[in-house]
Amino acid sequence: MLNSTLCYIEKDGAWLMLHRVKKENDLNHDKWIGLGGKFEDEETPDECVVRETFEETGLTLTSYRLRGIVTFLSDTWEGEYMYLYTADGFTGDMIPCNEGDLEWVPKEKAADLPIWEGDRLFFEELLRDRGFFTMKLRYEGDRLAEYEMKLH
């Protein structure tokens, strides 16, 4: 199982999202996702989210919180534990991303974009802000076949 982070930076009622259109052979091609990526050796989730966000945006997170852990299972790709964050503080100037186009998307419109079906489910939890959660998403191909969620 891979370990990764995903972060949605919040500003003025919008999330900073990445439209994945620049990478070759990208599982997320043409999808809108948050910022993040895979852990490096001996890296904590917090270290990973700060590094990945900086690499993709040029922004340094100054206020962020872990909102949940999402377990992705699939019949076509490797499983993944994703540490899901939101951030409301950052410094720096945004740079172009080599993986896609960065855009501030109003939170209420994010679920209308081309996203993974399971992302809509964790968007609901982020917007409800009911506390820390764990979620299991099992895909068959691109179709969400199973969903479980628990508040902690």
Domains delineated in the chain: 2-151 (3.90.79.10)
Whether the predicted pLDDT of 23 surpasses 80: no
Torsion, CA 83, CA 112, CA 118, CA 70, rounded to 10: 10
Task: Calculate mean pLDDT across residues 48-64.
Answer: 98
Contact 110, 31 (CB under 8 A): no
For residue 120, how many C-alpha atoms fall within 13 Å in the half-sphere facing its CB? 10
pLDDT recorded at residue 45: 98
Local confidence band at 27 (pLDDT 50, 70, 90 cut-offs): confident
Task: Calculate mean pLDDT across residues 132-137.
Answer: 98
pLDDT recorded at residue 28: 82
Whether the predicted pLDDT of 25 surpasses 80: no
Task: Calculate mean pLDDT across residues 85-91.
Answer: 98
* Whole-structure pTM value: 0.95
Condensed to tens digits (0 to 9), the pLDDT of residues 38-55 reads 999 999 999 999 999 999
CA pair distance 58, 11, nearest whole angstrom = 16
pLDDT recorded at residue 24: 78
Whether the predicted pLDDT of 30 surpasses 90: no
Task: Calculate mean pLDDT across residues 138-151.
Answer: 96
